[in-house]
Amino acid sequence: MKILYRFLLSSLILIPSITATPQDVQWRGPERDGIYPDTGLLQTWPETGPPLVLKKDGLGAGWTTPVISENVIYITGRRDTMEYLTALKMDGTVLWETLVGGSWQTSFQDSRNSPTIEDNFIYVSSAMGDVNCIEKHSGKVIWKVNTHEKYKSEFHRWGFAESILLTDNAVIASPVGKETTLVALSKKDGSLIWKTKSLDNEMSYASPLMIEYHGQKLILAQTNINLVAVDPAKGEIVWVFDLVKGFTDESDRILTNTPLYHDGEIFVTSGYNDKGVMLKLSDDAKSVNLKWSTDVLDTHHGGDVLVNGYIYGPNWLNNGNGNWVCLDWNTGEVKYEEKWFNKGSIIYADGRLYIFEEKQGHVGLVIPDPSGFKLVSSFKISDGTGPYWAHPSIYDGYLLIRHGEVLLVYDLKKKR
């Protein structure tokens, strides 16, 4: 099926200070594209992997990605029927823990919404649609809005699974349903700035993305049927692209991956043999047309990255299996499809792909090269339980990997 992420007790080792600029502190890096800006990283690893500098366990169950701001790790997790946001120092000391809201109560209950941080505030949603603004240093809740109840959203199968998007003045959430598709809430107090019209769809599980083309800014969001472009200033839906008709045999799609965007083109993919779709914006960004589609790259929920004109990512053979794929961004031509344990998640930094397969917990370091799958190093995670669904993240030369209730931090820097 699908969903995204997981959580954290403690072993220790002090870590030198880590800093991250505000725009870095969100889902899948500064641009939400899986690209992390760190340099000076190890280009190969020892057999046991890069040096482990922190292990932290017991902070709740989830599949969310940890983020770091001002030397503090922030991560969400489920305990019983509630979800919490925890702040911990780089030596594993817990600074505070704050209730975020209710967890999902049917299948796949663990937390799945990663925090977004800007300046002194953290914005995060629960699986039940509780959107929170939390003071970063104290953990105090400044405001909370249950967007599911207030805007009558329609759960698809597993509740809310998105990382909050921020604009200059607004918090963007996706309570898709009969009343609206997206809402913009005031960063100051959570009051409504705008809401879009309803498309009478249900939710997806993909975090939205802000893009700009020829001076036109758009929020790209997904429902269970459509890719939707919204004017961030007015909340008007600019265009809608049907991702179901002609691209899947189902009546809807289980969408979890934030789209990839580059120079007026948008790549959208999901698993289950649904076609991956490359779209081209018109010059005024007021419409979009199909450029090409692919049967090969149908990423389940591990994301994709664009590096030097090629898309790298995992495909879906079935819920338990998938291969690693490279496509030409311009044409959709398959450059390779190769087996390496299993499908999983992928990010990129400093000339290397970092892949994390979801069944056995192997972590791989791969040279991005369209001529073939070039694995240079790998190691296996031995801590934690359950599927390895959390996307890794990289901050100031540290690789953060989560599995079950365990957070592992590795030092990637060549020299300290």
Question: pLDDT for 276-311, tens place per residue?
Answer: 999 999 999 999 999 999 999 999 999 999 999 999
Model pLDDT, residue 284: 97
The pLDDT of residue 347? 98
Residue with tokens 């959208």: 268
Instruction: Indicate whether 32 belongs to any domain.
Output: yes
**Above 70 in pLDDT, residue 238?**
yes
Spell out the alpha helix ranges (H) of 40-159: 147-150
Q: Do residues 406 and 393 make contact, with C-beta atoms less than 8 angstroms apart?
A: no
Lowest mean pLDDT: which of 4-18, 262-276, 370-384, 391-405?
Answer: 4-18
Paired with 409 in beta bridges are 54, 400
Give the pLDDT confidence score for residue 195 in this predicted structure: 98
Whether residue 296 is contained in a domain is answered as: yes
- Within a domain: residue 232? yes
CATH number, domain containing residue 26? 2.130.10.10
Binning pLDDT at 50, 70 and 90, where does residue 24 land?
low
pLDDT over 90 (residue 22): no
Look at the chain and report how many structural domains it folds into: 1
Average pLDDT over residues 90-116: 92
Q: Where do runs of H (alpha helix) occur along 142-246?
A: 147-150
Averaged pLDDT for residues 240-262: 95
Tell me if 84 sits within 8 A of 77, measured CB to CB.
yes
pTM score: 0.93
Predicted confidence band of residue 381 (pLDDT cuts 50, 70, 90): very high
The pLDDT score that the predictor gives to residue 233 is 96
Residue 7 pLDDT grade (very low, low, confident, very high; cuts 50, 70, 90): very low
Triad 387, 394, 20: Cα angle to 5°: 135
Task: Name the token pair of 123.
Answer: 């914005």
Answer yes or no: is 11 within a domain.
Answer: no
Query: What range does the domain containing 386 cover?
Result: 22-411
pLDDT at 16 over 90: no
**Is the confidence at residue 2, as pLDDT, over 90?**
no
Residue 187 falls within a domain, yes or no? yes
Strand order in the sheet with 121-125: 116-118, 121-125, 130-135, 141-146
Residue 326: pLDDT over 50: yes
pLDDT digits (tens, 9 = 90+) for 107-163: 887 889 999 999 999 999 999 999 999 999 999 999 999 999 999 998 888 889 999
In a domain, 70, yes or no: yes
Nearest to 227 by CA among 184, 261, 195, 185: 261
pLDDT digits (tens, 9 = 90+) for 31-63: 999 999 999 999 999 999 999 999 999 989 899
In a domain, 4, yes or no: no
Which contacts (CB < 8 Å, 24+ apart) does range 83-87 have?
Answer: 83/111, 83/113, 83/126, 83/127, 84/59, 84/60, 85/115, 85/122, 85/124, 85/132, 85/134, 85/139, 86/8, 86/59, 86/60, 87/136, 87/139
